[in-house]
Amino acid sequence: MRHTFPLLLLILLCTCDRAQNDVANEPTPRPNILFIMSDDHAQRAISAYSDELIKTPNLDRIAKEGMLFRNSFVTNSICAPSRAAIMTGKYSHLNGKIDNLSPFNPNQWTFPEELHKAGYRTSLIGKHHLKAIPRGFDEFHGLIGQGSYYSPVFVHNGDTLDAVEGYTSTVITDYALRELRKAATDDSDQPFMMLYWHKAPHRNWMPDTNDLPGLLDKRYPVPANLRDSYEGRPAAENADMRIADMFTSHDLKVTGDYQNPDPGTGGATFIKDPKFDQVKNFRRQLGRLSPAQQKAWEPFLKRVGEEWLAVKGTDKELEWRYQRYMQDYLASVKSVDDNVGRVLDYLDESGLAENTIVIYTSDQGFYLGEHGWYDKRFMYEESHRTPLMIRYPAGVKPASVNEDLVLNIDLSSTLLDYAGISPPAELQGASLKPLLEGNRPEDWREDIYYRYYQQMDSYHRVARHEGVRDGRYKLIQFTEPGFESYELFDLETDPNEMNNRIGDPELEAVETRLKERMAALKTELKVED
């Protein structure tokens, strides 16, 4: 009997050890993925990057509870090509979607379909903008084209639905929450991957009725180069994307009662059709409002019209246009922030947050008055950069910041990496997982290649160009006939890119090096002119 207790203790210890080993040997569950993307969201319009313009407490949560990437860039700064690059992990010249006009082949490899094959429940809710319904989704609730801010129309798994009364950012989020509730109540342990993609803050920036009161009293700091003369930058000078030339109706919300016809070019100088009438177009948009929404908009539109008449043709007109643009753009951002907050709260309440990777990004950046512009397309910093924040409580240190050069094509490889899937060899991005875990690979990229393809005889008259950027310098080569030229910028001494240093003897070695690097990168990336 005296040996009984030690024997029992030994049995218990062995049993505990086996139990601990069993737990240790259990495979880590694959993470859920919530991929949030907005449209045309400038880094400067997120307070995690800068609090100069707006407070975005819900978006900031993703950075505070995860990692903020300060140097995140796109490969082609225009909506549909950027989305194609994200979906395929390839530059535009390989995925075929070089501009907004070219077709996208929906039968090519995409990361959502790969995750679907690997057992993920996949969904896309919101703006898709690649026309054909993509393969590999269990649930598709996509806007038609750009979609409308009010009474949006969706395609649901191939069926076109009736217009939904409501505000688009809220309606998209309602659908997203409905899908997330399915995941939270599913007993199968199947991981999910959701693309929760907003329309806002894409042009024409119609705020939610809740944000109209007091909106016209808001004032924002004016960029130092709002009145840029474009000296030494002929392609910039000839672009049609100045705030001074915005549509007063479609963009600035001046109705036909106060201005008809619309005096703006709105980036559409190439359109010669006399039926192209933006006053009527804006009237049609207002016609999507419900009676209650129309009532909320009436005093707002009246004041906008009266203000326009007071500044029209005066030296105050440009700044009024800028403030009017910013008021609506930032109100559209606020709607995204509010609704992302609803989703983050649900992840917490449902217990999904701990094992869910949350990504927030945009399809590209946007000009908020810099160089006197709105829109994107150019390789200049404001549109080349895009926000990127990633939260994953199980694997990313909170409040971490990364300064490395990362690209939108990296996201597909990153998500496959976390899901335990080897990416196809033809993918051109690199997994961000090592960076997210605080381990920078020794061979991480030191420079990046960019290319814009859309021709100058289309929207906004932006000349075709390509370029290379490293940690300090940027070289742009414009290849548009009649605008063939180079531009070189020292981003450390000239962050606003106002002084083209091409041909400057002080930067001769830099110029030579960057031209050689661009040629080398094109070869590496299989770019064929």
* Average pLDDT, integer, range 443-471: 96
252-279, pLDDT tens digit by residue? 999 999 999 999 999 999 988 888 899 9
* Position 164 pLDDT exceeds 60: yes
What are the boundaries of each domain within the chain? 35-205+327-440, 229-325, 459-524
* Average pLDDT, integer, range 89-96: 97
Encoding tokens for residue 188? 């199968």
Top-level CATH class of 35-205+327-440?
Answer: alpha beta
Q: Return the pLDDT at 529.
A: 85
33-53, pLDDT tens digit by residue? 999 999 999 999 999 999 999
Instruction: Give residue 133's pLDDT band: very low, low, confident or very high (50, 70, 90).
Output: confident
Q: Are 305 and 255 in contact (CB under 8 A)?
A: yes
* Position 370 pLDDT exceeds 80: yes
| DSSP H helices in 32-119 | 57-64, 79-88, 92-95, 111-117
Q: Return the pLDDT at 23.
A: 43
Residue 353 CA, chain-centre distance (Å), reads 22
What pTM does this model have? 0.94
Q: Return the pLDDT at 131.
A: 84
Task: Give 187 or 97, the one with higher predicted confidence.
Answer: 97
* Position 158 pLDDT exceeds 70: yes
State the Cα–Cα distance between residues 120 and 512, nearest whole angstrom. 48
Instruction: Give residue 26's pLDDT band: very low, low, confident or very high (50, 70, 90).
Output: low
Encoding tokens for residue 43? 């880094």
Averaged pLDDT of the chain: 94
State the Cα–Cα distance between residues 238 and 231, nearest whole angstrom. 11
Measured torsion, CA atoms of residues 112, 114, 120, 123, in degrees rounded to the nearest 10: 20
How many of the other CB atoms lie within 10 Å of CB of 287? 10
Encoding tokens for residue 315? 């030296």
Q: Return the pLDDT at 232.
A: 96
3-state SS, 245-263, equals HCCCCCCCCCCCCCCCCCC
* Position 516 pLDDT exceeds 60: yes
106-128, pLDDT tens digit by residue? 999 999 999 999 999 999 999 99
State the Cα–Cα distance between residues 141 and 386, nearest whole angstrom. 25
Top-level CATH class of 459-524?
Answer: alpha beta
Q: Return the pLDDT at 25.
A: 52
Q: E strand or H helix at 302, and its extent?
A: helix 291-311
